Amino acid sequence: MANNDNNNKLEIIKIGIFGESTVGKTLFSLTFTNGVNHGLNLPTVGIDSFNKEKILSNGKKYKIIIYDTAGQERYRSLSLNAVRRCDGIILMYDITKKNTFDSIKDWYNSIKEVVEDFNLILIGNKCDLKDQRNVSEEEGLKEAEKYKIEYFEASAKEGINVEKSIDELLKKIIAKKKEKFKNKKENNKMQLDAKKNASKKMHKCC
């Protein structure tokens, strides 16, 4: 009897969240995987992971793993090592703290040193604190335009745009996976055709 384990196995998609400490990466991860959570969270030490199974727009069920990385400088190299595991990346800042926005460029450049090609979105978190805003929505949009990526303002605390922003990133990831699979399939066919043609030539001349 055939083993159906492979048919039932979920495809895994890994997403890393990067940004300065206290921008809300942990609460964002918790809200996505467990729903809105108004509790306080301690700073991440090293890397935490959160899992959620989700049916996407293509009808397939996936296991989404969120890597919540530490923003403190002493954990920077450890956090960046996680980039190699990720299919997609979220760069996050706190709209109430200008220094977290200013550091986005450094985070982007550091990630670019580790991997050249990656799926990416930018999130300005804590949009529920509009009266404390220090980074305008226009600044966020302009920053995203520099990298030709999507921009969202979200609130991990209230659940605003948490699901929506990750869904957009998942679409980009799946589209790129599909394109890579198509290219690989075409390359394999070209190599197979080349071998067949070479074999035919050998038979003709011999």
| pLDDT given at position 84 | 85
Domain-located, residue 193: no
| pLDDT given at position 53 | 95
- The residue range of the domain holding 25 is 5-178
Domain-located, residue 61: yes
Domain-located, residue 99: yes
Domain-located, residue 161: yes
Please give the tally of structural domains in the chain. Answer: 1
Torsion of CA 32, 36, 37, 38, to 10 degrees: 140
Instruction: Give the helix/strand (H/E) hosting 121.
Output: strand 119-125
Give the separation between CA 74 and CA 59, rounded to whole angstroms. Answer: 41
pLDDT, averaged per 10 consecutive residues of the chain (206 residues), comes to: 56 94 92 76 67 90 91 60 88 98 94 88 97 98 96 96 96 86 59 61 61
Domain-located, residue 35: yes
| pLDDT given at position 36 | 73
Domain-located, residue 200: no
CATH of the domain at 87: 3.40.50.300
**What is the edge-to-edge ordering of all strands in the sheet holding 88-94?**
47-55, 61-69, 11-18, 88-94, 119-125, 150-153
Domain-located, residue 57: yes
Domain-located, residue 167: yes
What lies within 8 Å, CB to CB, of 192 at 6+ separation is none
